[in-house]
Amino acid sequence: MKGLFITGTDTGIGKTLITGLLAGYYHRQGWRIITQKWVQTGCTEQSEDIAGHYALGNFAAGEEIDRLVNPYCFPLPASPHLAAEQAGCTVDPEVITRAYGELAARYDLVLVEGAGGALTPLTRTLLTADLVTQLGLPTLLVAGNKLGCINHTLLTIAALRYRGIHLLGVVFNRLAEATHEQAILEDNPRVVAELGGVPVLGEMPFLADLRDGEQYIGAIAEAVVRETDNYAGASFLDS
């Protein structure tokens, strides 16, 4: 297995943070790692966006690699299908598939971050999860730990299972400093694990400085490896 898809319960809940930190951790373990985002919206210059988007985890350089890492980049901060239409373009899944295949041939592991949630449309007829299914990518789900996340997380789990996508587990990310909602934040992972029947692979605390995440990502990264080893009995590094 050469790829892992990282999706979320919504936009802005920490997919980029977790993707970058995981990439950084595996890179420090000596793996040849690359991150990829099939469609990036809300950007004006692809190269500038890539440099900022994956500052924690992208270790490649050069125009060719940038093209593979981010096949599509549109200025409108919207769903990929609409952002593409506003730019006079249509997202072609074959372009994405070829880019992913080229990266998978060059690197030990491709960490693919989705745009928005699992059912975000890439085109008017193709959802992100549909392409994940076609590529056979196991998936990690990032859930923003807040009031209401149980519903969003369980719905996403159900949608992934319906499409036959193998869900390795859920990582919770605290989006703000906990105050009176502490009991809720502690209960959310337990309920999702019980009702969703999925492993909770860890929780990222609220980070005032994103660089502090490196001290917490190790346990999550190792949990991802364990679940991956259980998936078809193969390790990330097995070809």
37 catalytically annotated: yes
Residue 145: phi and psi, rounded to 5, are -80, 100
Report angle CA 219, 147, 41 to the nearest 5 degrees: 75
Q: Which residues are within 8 A (CB) of 78 and not within 5 positions of it... i.e. 6 or more apart?
A: 41, 42, 86
- Catalytic annotation, pick one of 2, 15, 37, 146: 37
> Please, are residues 230 and 3 in contact by the beta-carbon 8 Å criterion?
no
Question: Is 144 strand, coil or helix?
Answer: strand
What is the spatial distance between Cα 239 and Cα 183, in angstroms, rounded to a whole number? 44
What is the spatial distance between Cα 188 and Cα 146, in angstroms, rounded to a whole number? 8
Known catalytic residues are 37
